[in-house]
Structure 1
Amino acid sequence: MGRQKRESRWQGAGHRLCFSAKRRGLLLLAALCLSSRVHAQVVSPQAFAAVVDRHYNSLHSLSVHFTQKFDGMGMHRSESGVLLLKKPQKMRWTYSTPAGKLFVLDGHNAYFYSPGDTEVPRVPVKKLDDLRSPLRFLLGHTQLEKELGSLRLAPAENGSYVLMGVPKGMEQRIASVSITARADGTIQSMRIEETDGIVNTFLFSDEVPNAPAPDSAFLFQPPAGVHIVDGAPPV
């Protein structure tokens, strides 16, 4: 009788372990199915572009850390800092690497400064074609479907997506733009490939929606001895 009881307990424990393993398997299968359904919900590039639009159009300001990587013309350069955006069309790129570099857009003009410069070019928004400038449109009236032609969409890691296209009106300079964003529309990176083979990659992290952004942050004050001149942005 004692042996039969022990065997019965072992069998019961075995059944429980088997049920537990099956339950874990079912839960894993359910999670995989849910992940597949989340991806399936985005049925087109236009639908995902609208998700990104909604995320940024709902904000008044934004702060995010960036790393910019430049590859081309025999150069490989990496710079980083903090980007501050504010409606309407204001932005400030404060670089920590290299320290002191600055790009400010006050809504009307853009200013480019690097330590050691004696002159700072001032460029009207209408003449601005710097690759950082399109990001100002993320706040307020983003319509990626209208701004990018030949839209395509591909799944990325961790439930993210890559939205690809060519900026309309910049086809002679830009070969493609790839925007990687999470399912909620938060942009994680942007890759810009120019027609001459130059590639600029922006990586974004630690996004702070509606971050403090006083108007004074977008007023460029040249350092002592530095003069503002009308000109074109640096390459």
Structure 2
Amino acid sequence: MKAFASFALCCALIAPANAAAIAQLKAFVAGTKTLSASFSQTVSSKNGQEKASGQMEIQRPGKLRWTYTQPYEQLIVGDGKTLWVYDKELAQITKRNQAGTLGSSPAALLAGSNAIERDYLLREVGRQGAVEWLAATPRKGDNTFDGIKMGFSANQLVEMELTDSFGNVTRISFSNIRKNPPLTASHFSFTPPKGVDVVSE
């Protein structure tokens, strides 16, 4: 199962560090213009588990860069209009319309506008250790994900849990989080390498 199938992800009003999850989400969204973090991802399905890790950067609105380094190399770049998925192992690039691909997915929440309460019903689901959790249920039935949980600590998104329509569960943990680092526009542009097939969808 390739990481893009479950690729996802969210994105500071200053809320108290120990505030409930919805207040922390709103603070995070309001104050985050750029974000970088390392991530580790586990996808659980009826076929077992697949682990992946890498680095992600976003620049709101609309720009994102996900680099998977383990167990295979894959680069996902969104420049606001086009989403490029470069699978180095297959030497293949997929080109998609970014808005149509991301829709109201968690990735769109991270890199998009402050529209989470328009697209999702939010509810608190409690505290686990130092992390406050909320559940986000899509208002539209055509969303890729049936259920989304987000965990916050000190007004930072530190964990996500995504359940898709097939029952697969993706858990993503973020570390080395940097809020509003300087990121250049060229960081979110992509030029296909020579000799690599490009498939448009």
Q: TM-score, normalised by structure 1?
A: 0.69
Q: How many residues align?
A: 185
Kept in 1, the 8 Å contact 2:28–2:157? The answer is no
Q: Name the structure 1 match of 2:56.
A: 83
Kept in 2, the 8 Å contact 1:191–1:199? The answer is yes
Kept in 2, the 8 Å contact 1:56–1:140? The answer is no
1:54 match: secondary structure: helix
Kept in 2, the 8 Å contact 1:53–1:144? The answer is no
Kept in 2, the 8 Å contact 1:64–1:207? The answer is yes
- CA deviation profile, 1:84-137 (whole Å, cap 9, x unmatched): 000221000012213531111111111111123343111112320489x53343
Q: Name the structure 2 match of 1:163.
A: 134
Q: Structure 1 residues 172, 214: closer, same or farther in 2, change over 3 A?
A: closer
Question: Which structure would you say has the larger Rg?
Answer: 1
The 1-side partners of 2:89 and 2:24 are apart by 42
RMSD, aligned α-carbons: 2.5
> Deviation at 1:213?
1.2
Q: Name the structure 2 match of 1:110.
A: 83
Q: Structure 1 residues 107, 93: closer, same or farther in 2, change over 3 A?
A: same
Q: Which amino acid aligns with 1:124?
A: N
The 1-side partners of 2:103 and 2:69 are apart by 20
Which of residues 222, 228, 231 is equivalent to 2:198?
A: 228
- CA deviation profile, 1:65-97 (whole Å, cap 9, x unmatched): 111111124142111111000022100001221
**5+ long unaligned stretches in structure 1:** 1-37, 43-47
Percent identity reads 22
Q: Structure 1 residues 140, 59: closer, same or farther in 2, change over 3 A?
A: farther
Which of residues 162, 168, 190 is equivalent to 1:198?
A: 168
Relative to its length, the structure with more strand (as a share) is 2
1:55 match: secondary structure: helix
**5+ long unaligned stretches in structure 2:** 1-16
Q: Name the structure 1 match of 2:118.
A: 146
Kept in 1, the 8 Å contact 2:159–2:173? The answer is yes
Kept in 1, the 8 Å contact 2:63–2:111? The answer is no
Relative to its length, the structure with more helix (as a share) is 1
> Deviation at 1:144?
3.2
Q: Which amino acid aligns with 2:52?
A: E
